[in-house]
Amino acid sequence: MRIDVITIFPEYLDPLRAALLGRAIERDLIQLEVHDLRNWTYDVHRAVDDAPYGGGPGMVMKPQVWGEALDTVCGEATRLVVPTPAGRPFTQEMARAYAREEHLVFACGRYEGIDQRVIEDAARRMPVDEVSIGDYVLVGGEAAVLVMVEATVRLLPGVLGNPVSAEQDSFSDGLLEGPSYTRPEIWRELPVPEVLRSGNHALIERWRRDQALERTLRRRPELLDRLPEGSLDERDLALLDRVRGEQRQAG
């Protein structure tokens, strides 16, 4: 997979070259290039922004500069991703879909964002996603790109040492993952749950499923409503009823 990022702060993307992602680059599992948007400016001030039409605070990123940058960087197989708080929420499902793409280009906005015509124009030639990483406002798109690239690249074949761990992560089966423990058996008077030391794999699997269901119901109940029909068996439903009962009692 090839990933290009266009930004006015290329150094902000340096963490993409560290740890797991850095190793993926070294092993040629991904080709990453970070571009300075100012390379496509043509005035002495290398300006990338201008005052907004209609008035109001802040500045808007200029369409000419972005247009030329995207004309240069995007190709036949590009999906363009534009981070914005006004976008579709980024999910694990989108990370999985991005991991199947051949070429992702990320366009990092700053100030009040990018002139909307840049997105409209690009959408004439390629798929374009305006994507939010959460209901809060960042200063620029770079941190959002770090999040999306990391979530995507770890799903590429060969990137994770143990690919099974990604299959069991939160959201993979629509639920949050339950708690994890390691040695020692007792730490600060807190024991590891007995069942995990039992060696009984069927019991352990059932316990993990129960923990995932209970955690999801308590922390992110809306995820349960989105599960495909038939995902919950009778035992699952009984457990959820019990937890709901406890929640009612606790007020």
- Positions touching ligand SAM (CB under 6 A) are 83-86, 108-110, 112-113, 132-134, 136-141, 144
- Rounded Cα–Cα distance for residues 92 and 171 (Å): 7
Cβ 56 to ligand SAM shortest distance, Å:
10
Cβ 131 to ligand SAM shortest distance, Å:
6
Cβ 141 to ligand SAM shortest distance, Å:
3
Catalytic residue among 93, 102, 169, 246: 169
112 is catalytic: yes
Q: Which is nearer to ligand SAM, 145 or 240 (CB)?
A: 145
Q: Which is nearer to ligand SAM, 137 or 250 (CB)?
A: 137
CA dihedral sign, ordered 112, 118, 124, 125: negative
Q: Which is nearer to ligand SAM, 32 or 148 (CB)?
A: 148
20 φ, ψ (degrees, to nearest 5): -60, -40
Question: Does residue 106 contact residue 157 with C-beta atoms inside 8 Å?
Answer: no
Catalytic residue among 49, 85, 206, 209: 85
157 is catalytic: no
- 136 Cβ contact list (under 8 Å, min separation 6): 85
The torsion angle over the Cα atoms of residues 215, 152, 230 and 227, rounded to 10 degrees, is 50
Helix, strand or coil, per DSSP, at residue 112: coil
Q: Which is nearer to ligand SAM, 123 or 237 (CB)?
A: 123
Q: Which residues line the annotated binding site for S-adenosyl-L-methionine?
A: 109, 133-138
Catalytic residue among 4, 129, 154, 210: 154
Q: Which residues line the annotated binding site?
A: 109, 133-138
Cβ 109 to ligand SAM shortest distance, Å:
2
Neighbours of 195 (CB within 10 A): 15
Catalytic residue among 36, 68, 112, 173: 112
- Rounded Cα–Cα distance for residues 90 and 108 (Å): 15
Interior/surface letters 170-179, b for 16+ CB within 10 angstroms, e for the rest: bbeebbbbbe
Name the residue whose CB lies closest to ligand SAM: 109
Nearest residue to 31 (alpha-carbon basis) of 4, 53, 63: 4
Cβ 81 to ligand SAM shortest distance, Å:
10
The set of catalytic residues is 85, 112, 154, 169
